[in-house]
Amino acid sequence: MNKVVNLEEKFKLFKDLWSPKRIGKLNGQQILLAKIKGEFVFHKHDDEDELFLVMKGQLELVLEDRAVILNKGEFFIVPKGVLHKPIAKEETHLLLFEPLSTKHTGDVLADITVETYEEI
C-alpha cells in the first residue's frame, strides 16, 4: 500500500555513515537516504547514472575533470562511466536515486562497501 514518506523521520531512524538505506522503489529504480562525513572512494558505475540530492550539509563531488559543490536543495547527476568521489567536511544527508542494479561502490570493493541496502 502506498503511504506518505517523511524524509526527516526516515533520517532519524539511523546514524551510521556511508551506509545508504532504501526507502522506496520505483520502476526499477531505488530511492536511498545516506548520511556521510569524510571521504568516500573513487568509483564509477559503468551502466547507471547516479543522482545525488543534498538534504542537509554540503557535498563535494570530485570528478575526473572537475569538482562540483552541492548545497542543501541542489542535485547533480553523475553520468554512467564517470569516476567520482563524494566528500563531506561535515555530516551531510543525501537522497540518492539510481537503478536497483547499481552497486554501492561500483567496480571497487572497499571496507565501506555495502552489498545489500537495509530498507527502512
Show the domain range for 46: 7-119
Cβ–Cβ under 8 Å, residues 50 and 77:
yes
**H helices of the chain, where?**
7-11
pLDDT in tens, 102-119: 654 555 555 655 667 778
15, three cell numbers: 546514524
The answer to whether the pTM exceeds 0.75 is yes
Q: Is residue 1 part of a domain?
A: no
Task: Identify whether 2 is part of a domain.
Answer: no
Domain count, the chain: 1
**Cα–Cα distance between 27 and 10 in angstroms, integer?**
21
Domain presence at residue 103: yes
Q: For residue range 76-94, what is the model confidence (pLDDT) as tens digits? A: 999 999 999 999 999 999 9
β-sheet bridge partners, residue 26 = 29
Which CATH number is 77's domain given?
2.60.120.10
